[in-house]
Amino acid sequence: MKFKIVVFLTAAFVLGLFAFSFETKTDAKTTAELAALLPSSEIVVTFDAQKTFNTALPQILSANQEKLTEINAHIDEIKTKIGIDARQFEQIAVGIRTTQTAAQTTELDPFILARGSFNSNQLITTAKLFSKGKYTEEKIGNRTIYVFKAETKAETGTSSANTTTPAKNSMMGKVLGSLLKNLSKEIAVTAYDDNTLAFGTAARVREAFGTKKSKVSAEILALANKNPNAVLNFGGKMPKGMGAFLPLDNDELGKTIDAINQLSGSLDIADGKTNLFVSAKTLKPEEAEQLYDTIDALRSLGKMFLSGNKNADKQVYARMVENANVTRNGTLVSLNLEVSQSDIDVIVGKK
C-alpha cells in the first residue's frame, strides 16, 4: 500500500495538466497572476491546463486516439475513486526551490498552486477522508495547514520509497524523482482562496504563508513569461550541478551545461504545429560560444546518424535536427524548433 495522500494530490496535479473546462476561459494574464503568488523560487513553471486538454492533447494525439482515450479514462478513474474531477483544474503554477546538498547534488523542492472551478476546502476535506485521519493541523495566522506524512513500513508492510517513478536513468525520471523526493515524505496542503489549492512540503508552505513569507522575484517571473499565451512556460536560474540530471558520459559536456546561468522557454501547440523555444544565458560570452558550438556539433552528429535511415520516425527526427534554428547573441543561446502535425503523427502514432 503506497503513500495515499501523495498519490491523490500528485494524480490531481499531473492530471490537472490535462484538465479543461468548457464554461470558463483562462488567459495569459490570470496565469501570470497565479505565478506571481508563488514564494521565492529559483525556477517557475506554468501550465494552461484548459488549453492543454482542449487544444494540445487532442492535436498531439490525433493519430493515436487510443492513447487519448486512455488519458480520459485515467481522469475518470481518479474521479470515481477519490471524488476529484481533474477537469476542474484550469491553471497551475509551480515554484521550485533548489538546494545544494553536502554530496554536491541538487535537490528540487516544489510549491504548487492549482486554480480551477472547484471549492478548495471541499477538495481538502476529500483528501482528509482519503488519508483516514492520518494528518496533523497547524495554524499560520488564520490559515489552517494540513500536513500528511508518509505511512511507515510497519503501518503499510512496505516502504514509502517504493513509490513508482519514471526510469531513473532518464532526464525526466531524475527531475521528477527529485521533485517528488520530499513530497513522498510529507505534503502540506491549504486553501489559498476559495478556488485555489496550495501544496508542497511543510517547509515550503510555511515559507509561503508565514510571518516572514517570501515572494518570487520579478526577474524569475519575467523569464517564465516570455511567451504568455503558450501551453507551458518555464524560466529561472540554473543551479550548479544540473548537468547531473542529464545522462552524460562526457565531463566536458557536463561543464558546458553547468555554465548556463539562466534558462527559459515555452511549449505551444496551435494551427497544426508544435513549437518549442528554449533560451540559455551564460555569464561569459566564451561560455555561450562553447554552448553554441556544442549544440552545433550535436546537430552534425545527429544528421550523420539519421541521414539515409528509411524508418519514418527516424526521418522525422532528421527533419527536426535539420529544422532546429540555433542562434547566439552575446551570452544568450536560443533554440527554436517547429514541428508539423504530420511529423507529430508519425512519432505518436501506433507502431
The tens place of each residue's pLDDT in the chain, 351 residues long, gives 334 444 444 444 444 443 333 333 445 457 788 999 999 999 999 988 888 878 888 888 889 999 889 888 888 876 776 556 777 888 999 999 888 766 567 778 889 999 998 899 988 888 888 777 788 999 998 899 998 876 544 444 444 444 444 444 554 455 566 666 666 677 889 999 999 999 888 889 998 998 778 899 999 999 999 888 899 999 999 877 655 555 555 566 777 888 899 999 999 988 788 999 999 999 999 999 999 999 999 888 888 888 888 899 899 999 999 999 999 999 999 999 999 999 999 988 876
Among the residues of the chain, which ranges form H helices? 4-16, 28-35, 49-51, 57-60, 65-82, 120-130, 153-156, 171-183, 202-209, 218-223, 251-258, 285-306, 312-323, 341-348
Handedness of CA 169, 173, 178, 182 (dihedral sign): negative
d(Cα 221, Cα 213) in Å, to the nearest integer? 17
Report residue 196: phi and psi, to 5°: -135, 125
CA separation for the pair 188, 225 (Å, rounded) = 27
Q: Provide the 3-class DSSP secondary structure of residue 98.
A: strand
Contact assessment for residue 255 and residue 290, using Cβ atoms and an 8 Å cutoff: no
What is the spatial distance between Cα 277 and Cα 268, in angstroms, rounded to a whole number? 9
- Phi, psi dihedral angles at 87 (to 5 degrees): -70, -10
Do residues 106 and 100 lie in contact, with contact meaning Cβ atoms separated by under 8 Å?
yes
**Domains of the chain and any CATH numbers:** 1-237 (no CATH), 238-351 (3.30.1360)
DSSP state of 96: E
Report CA-CA distances (Å) from 108 to 52, 168, 175: 24, 15, 8
Q: Are 208 and 192 in contact (CB under 8 A)?
A: no
Are 51 and 91 in contact, with CB atoms under 8 Å apart?
no
CA distance 100 to 267: 28
Torsion (CA) 54, 59, 60, 66 in degrees, nearest 10:
90
For the chain, the farthest-separated pair of C-alpha atoms sits apart, in whole angstroms, at 66
Contact 282, 328 (CB under 8 A): no
Q: How far is Cα 241 from Cα 178, in angstroms, rounded to an integer?
A: 13
